[in-house]
Amino acid sequence: MHTQIDSRTQQAHALICNWLLPAGFVVLLIGLAALPERSLYHKAFYALIAAPTLIALALRPRICVALLREPVIIALLMFSTWALISISWSDTERSFGTLFKRPLYIFMLFAACALIALQAHTRLAQSTLLAAVLMLPLTAYSLMIFMTNATPGERLIGFGALDNPLLSSHVFGFFCAFWLALSMTLSPRQSWLALIAATLMGMALLATGSRTPLVATALTCAWLIVACWSKRSVGLLLFGALGALALIVLYPEVLSSRGLSYRPELWAKTLSMVIQQPWQGFGFGAHLTIFIADLKMSFSEPHNFALGVLYYTGIIGLVLWLAMHGLALFQCWKHRSNYLFIVCGALLVYGIGAGLTEGGGILSRPKEHWLVTWIPLALIAALTIRTRQAQGALR
């Protein structure tokens, strides 16, 4: 009887980790560009990742031990705990239960990636590659329709649930960084295919008219040049320099037409508020209104991830946030002989670059910001757990 139960438990766990979670991860990566509504995107996450992950952890509770030994996940839990504690002094109108779900969703993402990596480590890479391949025709179609019908000054948004060119750039940028990293790590014959795919995603980035991904892509190239130092690094350096020069000569308005988009004013006003409560911040979910007199309008985000963390959770929260990213980047550098860590490091660096001039919310439901924050961190944590398991098995 016990043998039958164990066998069914093992089959159910394998089904979730080998098929359901990888399918959910693909939908998470491309769903915003493929699904018609955000509500469907959220429901897909709950049905294909959150719920199955809870079931898988219930079937194999020992996996929680491996999760809680991972430094990046420990930092995530510490940051989330501090954010939840900060609700006690926040002026938020949302209930504790509503806000509590948000870090729980993020933890489910980390756990899902770890479950896939531990059960069948190739599935995580295969799922990401499949999503990147599926994203190519979606991007090509979006570009074709945009170039056919766009009016002067119009910016590419894309299809599906995408509704803002700056946020769309997070999706296109994630896959651009992915293909760039593959072009540096695959064999010479395959790398050209990856470079062509990266070029397509780069064209989509330019079509969004956002300058945030330009900074992020430059930082990604710098990471790849250093982490993959070889003849290809020189080629990427020259390619990047020529691309930047062509952009300045052919499309100077991309860089100068909107000035600094009031970023310095937003940052200065946010810092002036942070000074009032520098250590603890204003609390998770607190109201944030930044009024720009020249525009006669208000913003609810400082357009900088670190400043958002500082505003809501103070210096204590920012230290935990930086530790989480620093630990993840250290793992990528430490294991850079493994191309998967180089690729995930590129995704993380792109996200850090994108967060310099965009964003500000710290913990959210699944949306574009996940592709430049939580998804790269979750991938790195999963790879680290899998590497630690493999090293332990060899001893």
Secondary structure, 3-state, 332-391: HHHCCCCHHHHHHHHHHHHHHHHCCCCCCCCCCCCCHHHHHCHHHHHHHHHHHHHHHHHH
Distance from C-alpha of 284 to C-alpha of 303, rounded to nearest angstrom: 17
Question: For residue 41, what pLDDT is reported?
Answer: 95
Q: Nearest 5°: CA angle at 330, between 326 and 336? A: 145
68 pLDDT band, cuts 50/70/90, is very high
Per the structure, how many domains does the chain have? 1
Question: Which tens digit of pLDDT belongs to each residue from 43-66?
Answer: 999 999 999 999 999 998 888 898
Model pLDDT, residue 256: 54
Does pLDDT of 185 surpass 80?
A: yes
Mean per-residue pLDDT of the chain: 88
Q: Give the pLDDT confidence score for residue 5 in this predicted structure.
A: 59
The yes-or-no verdict on residue 89 having pLDDT over 90 is yes
- Better-scored residue on pLDDT, 190 or 201: 201
Q: Which of 210-214, 245-249, 271-275, 310-314 has the lowest mean pLDDT?
A: 245-249
Between residues 238 and 209, the one the model is more confident about: 209
Q: Are 355 and 305 in contact (CB under 8 A)?
A: yes
The stretch 69-80 carries a mean pLDDT of 96
Specify which of 4-13, 39-48, 61-70, 185-194 reaches the highest per-range mean pLDDT: 39-48
**Residue 6, pLDDT above cutoff 80:** no
SS3 213: helix
Confidence of residue 301 (pLDDT cuts 50, 70, 90): confident
> In one letter, which amino acid is 31?
G
Q: Is 292 helix (H, G, I), strand (E, B) or coil?
A: strand
Would the pLDDT of 36 be above 80?
A: yes
- Asked whether the predicted pLDDT for residue 4 surpasses 70, the reply is no
> Is 185 in contact with 339 (CB distance < 8 Å)?
yes
Residue 1 has pLDDT above 70, yes or no: no
pTM metric for this prediction:
0.94
Give the pLDDT confidence of 316-371 residue by residue, as tens digits: 999 999 999 999 999 999 999 999 999 999 999 999 999 988 877 788 899 999 99
Mean pLDDT for the stretch of residues 156-178: 92
Model confidence pLDDT, tens digit, residues 127-139: 999 999 999 999 9
How far is the CA of 375 from the CAs of 32, 47, 106, 128, 208, in angstroms? 14, 18, 9, 11, 22
Backbone angle region of 13, left / alpha / beta, with phi > 0 → left and psi within -120 to 50 → alpha? alpha
Give the pLDDT mean for 373-389. Answer: 95
Tens-place pLDDT, residues 113-123: 999 999 887 89
What is the separation, in whole angstroms, between the first and last Cα of the chain? Answer: 35
The 10 Å CB-count burial string (b at 16+, else e) for 288-314 is bebeeeeeeeebebbbbbbbbbbbbbb
pLDDT band at 394 (very low <50, low <70, confident <90, very high): very low
Task: Please state, for a pLDDT cut of 90, what percent of the chain lies above it.
Answer: 58
Quick count: other Cβ atoms within 10 Å of Cβ 363?
23
Please tell me the predicted confidence (pLDDT) of residue 248: 66
Percent of all residues in the chain with a pLDDT value above 70, rounded to a whole number? 92
* Selection from 222, 211, 238 nearest residue 345 by Cα: 222
Confidence at residue 395, expressed as pLDDT on a 0 to 100 scale: 47
Q: Does 26 have pLDDT greater than 60? A: yes
Distance of CA 145 to the CA centre of its chain: 27
Structural domain harbouring 300:
2-394
Round to whole Å and give the CA distance between 263 and 215.
14
Model pLDDT for residues 244-253, shown as the tens digit of each residue: 676 666 556 5
